[in-house]
Amino acid sequence: AVAVKMLLPTLSRDEKVQERFRREARSVAALRHPNIIQIYDYGISDHGPYIVMEFARGQSLRQLLRSGALNIEMAVGLMEQICSAIASAHSAGIIHRDLKPDNIIIETHSDGSVHAKVLDFGIAKMREVHSEEADTNLTGANIIGSPAYMSPEQSMGLELDARSDVYALGIMLYEMLTGETPFGKAPAGAMLLRQINTPPQPVSQKRTEIPPALESVVMKSLAKDRDFRYSSATEFAKALRFALQDPEAAATQLAMENE
């Protein structure tokens, strides 16, 4: 079974946008990873750009989170899978830019195991091109993405690298562990300012049983200055697993890193 996604017809009216769409789709279609939705075909029809992709049987992470925070081990396990997908994309030179629970499909198998699939690599940028002019009014720069999950540098319209996706991963893990995002709800402009200026509340203030080492890893991923975040999704995932397997050693290591 496959799924067909139609993009905005307005994207087919500009030759530069068409070429950008083809380039992005070609790059994403080349990705092969068990935690990435596979793209089988893409093109531009009379009704606008389209993508033919793998059909994932499951619910979005957004739907799963409607029931509240996840079990700690489940949250970390899913994040490790998502990080693996993101790392694969980064190695191919693709930054997602729009990571959020809506773009993660969770498949539940008969044995109770769960499998994450990431959607909209690269293509997420194409879907938002139409709103760049409106978003420019918020910060004076072209902003593409979902404000509740955007890194400070993305909120300011700066050039992005892998660490911006790491920040979005941290936001999602925070939400998986607490049932809410670090900065609550607000209009887009106000949310961008919170991403830039407001420190997130520690995870343990929202869920007391979170191990201190795990909390430290989450908070490091949410550093306002990207130089103080994890440099890659792989590094972030390793730190998460270490925090669960050997919390005392992980806490000591993080304390040394922060000195």
Neighbours of 238 (CB within 10 A): 15
Judged by DSSP in three states, 194 sits in helix
Please give the single-letter amino acid code of residue 50: Y
State the Cα–Cα distance between residues 238 and 235, nearest whole angstrom: 5
Residues annotated as part of the active site: 98
Cβ contact 59:106 at 8 Å: yes
Angle of the 212-221 helix axis to the 233-245 helix axis, nearest 10: 170
The first and second tokens of residue 76, run together, are: 């970390």
Please give the single-letter amino acid code of residue 255: A
Residue identified by tokens 């270490």 is 242
State the Cα–Cα distance between residues 63 and 127, nearest whole angstrom: 22
Helix, strand, coil shares, percent, the chain, to 5: 55, 10, 35
Cβ contact 97:17 at 8 Å: no
For 25-89, the DSSP string reads: HHHHHT---TTBPPEEEEEEETTEEEEEEEPP-SEEHHHHHTT-PPPHHHHHHHHHHHHHHHHHH
